[in-house]
Amino acid sequence: MKLRVAVLCGGRSGEHEVSLKSADGIMAAMDPAKYDVQRILVTKEGRWDPRPIVPEPGANPGIDVVFPIVHGTFGEDGTMQGLLELADLPYVGAGVLASAVAMDKEIQKRLCIERGLPVVDYVVTWRDEFNIHESDIEEICRRLPFPVFVKPANLGSSVGISKAKNCEELKAALKLAGRFDRKILVERGITGREFECAVLGNREPAAAVPCEILPSRDFYDYEDKYVLGASKTVLPADLAPEQTREIQRLAVECYRAVECEGMARVDFFLEAASGKFLINEINTLPGFTSISMYPKMWEAAGLPYAQLLDRLIELALERHRERQATSYHMDARQDTRQDTRQDAQDAGR
């Protein structure tokens, strides 16, 4: 009997189009002999087509497992995962907690620091209803050397990111990032090389073959990723064996630090001055477009695209079974407490 898979895509974030491309790639690669696949679209306005998933167990007939590929805000940040938990539906990828903390670039850095993992130096600032305060700009200029990179704290696909070489450019960069998020991350610019490493698994995650990103522009921005198509990748990355092992180790440790499950892509810098790897960020719903590196890294590691999708669905069902077992025992404890109270009442009569 075929497994009924709902591919959930679109969404209200600035990554709507990327999500649609990812969904197209996933649906084209799914084995029709194994899966009965349906597409559920969330429009930019937040409307669902053909129907919303009902946040009530048993109210979603025709769906065995959900493959959410809604990148960015309201999809990758734990909100969609919370809805699927309420609906008691198995779903691919990280849970509510990991999705939420990994989406916030500052929180994920805090957790990495707590685990002793290397991250890029950064400063966090906030915009109020209208702008960034001048005193905050002066503080950033004091604390970090230029150039710096300015990012919305809660977004992906390099949306809203810019590079600033002085205080005037910093003001413009903060204004741009503030269009996408109230919380803004400013990071020290790193001179070096950029790498990505894919991770797969639940309680026993494994890292794939890492790749190197060679941007065609000043940095690997949204246009370079999805519009121009001019950036290049080196897969497998040209690294010494001990460097490959180190980047894989750090990727898995970062994955564990945010309690991720299912999948994630961890991005790195190899700083030229220190020769050390620095964790840039972790992405819990990496792209699955025709140019996305997550499936390509696993293919290089010996796991083709279609088999990767099979494994991700297996991991989703495995985690759901474990959660159901926990819920069962919690219900049993509740029943026991009720029986105990009833016995006490009967004894008192």
Catalytic residue among 99, 157, 162, 231: 157
Token couple for 12: 């209200």
CA distances from 165 to 133, 150, 160, 172, 173 (A): 19, 11, 16, 11, 10
- The question of whether 267 is a catalytic residue gets the answer yes
Distance CA 344, CA 60 (A): 40
Catalytic residue among 39, 127, 193, 265: 265
- The question of whether 287 is a catalytic residue gets the answer yes
Catalytic residue among 60, 154, 162, 283: 283
Catalytic residue among 181, 267, 280, 319: 267
Identity at 40, one-letter amino acid code: I
Distance CA 268, CA 202 (A): 22
Catalytic residue among 11, 14, 75, 287: 287
- The question of whether 226 is a catalytic residue gets the answer yes
What's the full length of the chain, in residues?
Answer: 349
Catalytic residue among 122, 281, 292, 319: 281
Distance CA 188, CA 314 (A): 40
Write the DSSP string, 94-129.
Answer: --HHHHHHHHSHHHHHHHHHHTT--B--EEEEE--S
346: left (phi over 0), alpha (psi -120 to 50) or beta: alpha
- The question of whether 265 is a catalytic residue gets the answer yes
Catalytic residue among 35, 91, 226, 255: 226
- The question of whether 114 is a catalytic residue gets the answer no
- The question of whether 253 is a catalytic residue gets the answer no
- The question of whether 15 is a catalytic residue gets the answer yes
Nearest to 69 by CA among 297, 316, 246: 316
Catalytic residue among 10, 11, 15, 75: 15
- The question of whether 222 is a catalytic residue gets the answer no
| Catalytically active residues, by annotation | 15, 157, 226, 265, 267, 281, 283, 287
